[in-house]
């Protein structure tokens, strides 16, 4: 049983919709690999709007939607207000259908709080994957003066995370940085945590021939002078920071341009984008920013391939899946130092890293592969090798199943 409650969870998720991004991709890719390895998997999420009760993905995998909290979208910060109804409705459905599970794997703290109760009721192990940490996000948002305005409810979240990490059987962190933060700020012993990074679809995110690349660039109206950034319209994604870096980059690379694909669905998202467009105008770079909005899933890999550089300017990024996908697609990548991935790459070989809150520094790193062909070619080849060998989903799934198997049957054998 995999529980992931927030956003639009589906076999082909609608990326860019509210609360629907890297985590949903993570959950579904992992579930598909578990199914491929021969396990029966239910991905359990919330039913709302006009979604069907279930999607059958293949013989071993389905997305099962449990209704609770009414028919409207509920943001992830408020999802746990309804977890009692979710637990009751899910357990009633499980018992009605006579289903038996070996393990609960929950994703994000809203699902973790619910998953712990479900695991206790069913007397099975609970393995939790946090994705992000309330303590770190609160610290980061406080530095922006945004915590109260956005009503992230950090104090409540951190308290519940603290109890959750002690109650579940094991925590799977997605970076070494996250392991350290959980040990230091949630006071959890290291032996209760395993680091397993997210994965990528190795078959999908690949480099292409020069002829194919030229065709892609023409179709998407992009060039080797473009810097590509993609993600949800959210403050932590650092769009304002990359905009601040653009004047410095253009001083080094006069033809440089930003292609920003910021998915916006809500009015709040659109307000953010308007503020960034105003910022671009104030910085005098509005004519050098191409706002793409939501990128269709079919075009995702080509968008990674098309630019000269992919940039991840996030203030906070638990991992940085988009950067791995870009590297695997053969594009030189500049990472944020404010996330988990940069600790795993070799600087100058796999990728470049910079502090996104220092615009000149970030601009200098983005310029490097544009300026030096030998560095660009090295990053293109070595970055792709590193990404594919380290983060292929099947290998990630096998490592994760190994954790599940180590706890399997522990409660039933005790009774």
Percentage of the chain exceeding pLDDT 90: 63
- Same-domain pairing of 259 and 274: yes
Q: Has residue 225 been placed in a domain? A: yes
Q: Are 27 and 107 in contact (CB under 8 A)?
A: yes
Q: Nearest CA to 228 among 327, 87, 113?
A: 327
Question: Rounded CA gap, 132 and 315, in Å?
Answer: 13
Q: Has residue 414 been placed in a domain? A: no
What are the residues whose beta carbons fall under 8 Å from the beta carbon of 76, sequence distance 6 or more? 5, 6, 7, 19, 108, 110
- State how many domains the chain has: 2
- Same-domain pairing of 217 and 336: yes
pLDDT digits (tens, 9 = 90+) for 178-196: 888 899 988 999 999 999 9
Residue 221 domain boundaries: 210-391
Question: pLDDT tier at 415 (50, 70, 90 boundaries)?
Answer: very low
What pTM does this model have? 0.67
- Same-domain pairing of 111 and 214: no
- Same-domain pairing of 215 and 157: no
Question: Rounded CA gap, 168 and 403, in Å?
Answer: 13
- Same-domain pairing of 18 and 143: yes
Q: Has residue 301 been placed in a domain? A: yes
- Same-domain pairing of 193 and 250: no
- Same-domain pairing of 92 and 118: yes
Q: Has residue 65 been placed in a domain? A: yes
Q: Has residue 412 been placed in a domain? A: no
Q: Has residue 226 been placed in a domain? A: yes
pLDDT digits (tens, 9 = 90+) for 361-390: 999 999 999 999 999 999 999 999 999 888
Q: Are 45 and 5 in contact (CB under 8 A)?
A: yes
- Same-domain pairing of 257 and 230: yes
Residue 141 burial (10 A CB sphere; 0-12, 13-18, 19+):
buried
- Same-domain pairing of 186 and 293: no
What was the pLDDT predicted at 11?
A: 80
Quote the crossing angle between the two packed helices 267-282 and 239-252, to the nearest 10°.
30
- Same-domain pairing of 158 and 186: yes
- Same-domain pairing of 385 and 400: no
- Same-domain pairing of 319 and 174: no
Query: CATH no. for residue 115?
Result: 3.40.50.2000
Q: Has residue 107 been placed in a domain? A: yes
pLDDT digits (tens, 9 = 90+) for 264-290: 777 888 899 999 999 999 999 999 999
Q: Has residue 413 been placed in a domain? A: no
What is the average pLDDT score of the chain? 90
pLDDT digits (tens, 9 = 90+) for 15-43: 777 767 778 888 999 999 999 999 999 99
What was the pLDDT predicted at 414?
A: 47
């Amino acid at each position: 049983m995999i529980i992931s409650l927030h956003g639009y969870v589906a076999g082909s998720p609608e990326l860019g919709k509210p609360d629907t991004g890297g985590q949903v991709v993570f959950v579904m890719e992992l579930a598909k690999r578990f199914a491929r390895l021969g396990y029966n998997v239910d991905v359990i999420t919330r039913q709302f709007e006009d979604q069907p009760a279930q999607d059958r993905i293949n013989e071993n995998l389905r997305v099962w939607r449990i209704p609770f909290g009414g028919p409207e979208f509920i943001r992830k910060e408020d999802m746990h207000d309804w977890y009692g109804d979710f637990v009751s409705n899910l357990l009633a459905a499980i018992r009605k259908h006579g289903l038996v599970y070996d393990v609960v794997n929950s994703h994000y703290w809203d699902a973790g709080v619910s998953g712990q109760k479900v695991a206790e009721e069913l007397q099975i192990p609970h393995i939790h994957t946090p994705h992000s940490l309330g303590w770190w996000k609160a610290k980061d948002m406080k530095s922006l003066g945004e915590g109260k305005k956005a009503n992230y409810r950090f104090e409540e979240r951190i308290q519940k995370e603290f109890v959750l990490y002690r109650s579940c059987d094991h925590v799977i962190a997605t970076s070494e940085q996250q392991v350290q933060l959980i040990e230091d700020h949630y006071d959890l012993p290291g032996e209760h945590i395993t680091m397993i990074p997210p994965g990528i679809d190795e078959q999908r995110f690949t480099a292409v021939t020069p002829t194919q690349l030229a065709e892609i660039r023409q179709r998407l109206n992009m060039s080797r002078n473009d810097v590509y950034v993609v993600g949800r319209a959210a403050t932590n994604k650092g769009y304002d920071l990359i905009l601040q870096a653009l004047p410095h980059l253009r001083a080094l690379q006069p033809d440089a341009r930003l292609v920003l694909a910021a998915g916006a669905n809500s009015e709040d998202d659109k307000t953010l984008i308007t503020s960034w467009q105003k910022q671009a105008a104030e910085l005098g770079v509005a004519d050098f920013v191409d706002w793409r909005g939501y990128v269709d899933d079919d075009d995702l890999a080509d968008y990674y391939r098309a630019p000269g550089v992919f940039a991840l300017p996030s203030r906070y990024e638990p991992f940085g899946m988009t950067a791995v996908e870009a590297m695997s697609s053969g594009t030189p990548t500049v990472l944020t130092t404010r996330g988990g991935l940069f600790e795993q790459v070799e600087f100058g070989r796999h990728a470049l890293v910079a502090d996104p809150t220092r615009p000149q520094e970030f601009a200098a790193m983005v310029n490097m592969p544009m300026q030096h062909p030998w560095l660009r070619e090295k990053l293109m080849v070595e970055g792709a090798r590193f990404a594919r060998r380290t983060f292929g989903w099947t290998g990630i799934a096998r490592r994760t199943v190994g954790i599940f198997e180590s706890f399997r049957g522990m409660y039933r054998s005790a009774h």
